[in-house]
Amino acid sequence: MNLTRIGIIIGSTRPGRKAEDVARWVYEIASARSDAEFELVDIADYRLPLYDEPIPPIMGNYKHEHTRIWSEKIKSFDGFVFVTPEYNHSTSGVLKNAIDYLYQEWNDKAAGFVSYGSAGGTRAVEHLRQIAGELRLADVQAQVSLSLFHDFENFSVLKPGPKQDVSVNNMLSQVIAWSGALKSLRS
C-alpha cells in the first residue's frame, strides 16, 4: 500500500533563518505517525532564481533545468505543509517565488501551514491561503502559529509548548485526510 506523501517545505533561505528548525520540529512530530510518509523540502537546495521561465507555468513547458527538478519534486507529493516566517505582514519572497514557478504540480493537493513571527505568522498564512485557492490547493482549517515571544527562547531558540505538538498533529491529520480525499482528482 502506498502511503500518502507529504512534503514539509522550508519557506525561508535567509541566513540565520528559524524556518529550518521549525520544519525539523514538525518533521520529528510527523515521523512518529504511521499514516503518511513525510519529507523535508528545503527550497534553498533548489537555488531557484527570481522566476525566469518564458512560458506561464500553467502550460507545464519548462525551459530551465532548475524548474524541471523543482517540478519533479513537487509532483511527487500528495500534500504539503508550508513552514513560513512572517516578513512585513506576508510570507517570504523566496517561498512565493518557489510557488510561482509551478501550477499543475500543486493542483488538487492539500496544504497545511506552520507559521512563526511576532504575531504568530498568521498574516503570512492569510496570504498563502489566497495563493492556495488560485493553485487549486485545498488549504486545511487547522494551522500552527508560533509566537516569537512564547515559543522561542530569546526570540531565537525554538521551545514550543506541549500544546503546539497537539496543534501540529491536528493540522497533519487534516492534511493527510484531504490529500487522500483529493486523490481521485489527481488520477
pLDDT tens for 35-78 read 999 999 999 999 999 999 999 999 999 999 999 999 999 999 99
Count of CB atoms situated within 10 Å of the CB of 167: 18
Local confidence band at 1 (pLDDT 50, 70, 90 cut-offs): low
Indicate which CATH number applies to the domain containing 69.
3.40.50.360
Total count of domains within the chain: 1
Amino acid at 50: L
Q: Domain of residue 9: give its range.
A: 4-186
| Residue 82, pLDDT score | 98
Tell me what the mean pLDDT of segment 106-125 comes to.
97
In the predicted structure, residue 187 carries a pLDDT above the cut 90 = no
**16-54 residues labelled b (16+ CB within 10 A) or e (exposed):** ebbbbbbbebbbebbeeeeebbbebbebeebebeeeebe
Cell matching residue 71: 517540478
**137-147/152-153 β-pairing:** unpaired
For the chain, the average pLDDT equals 97
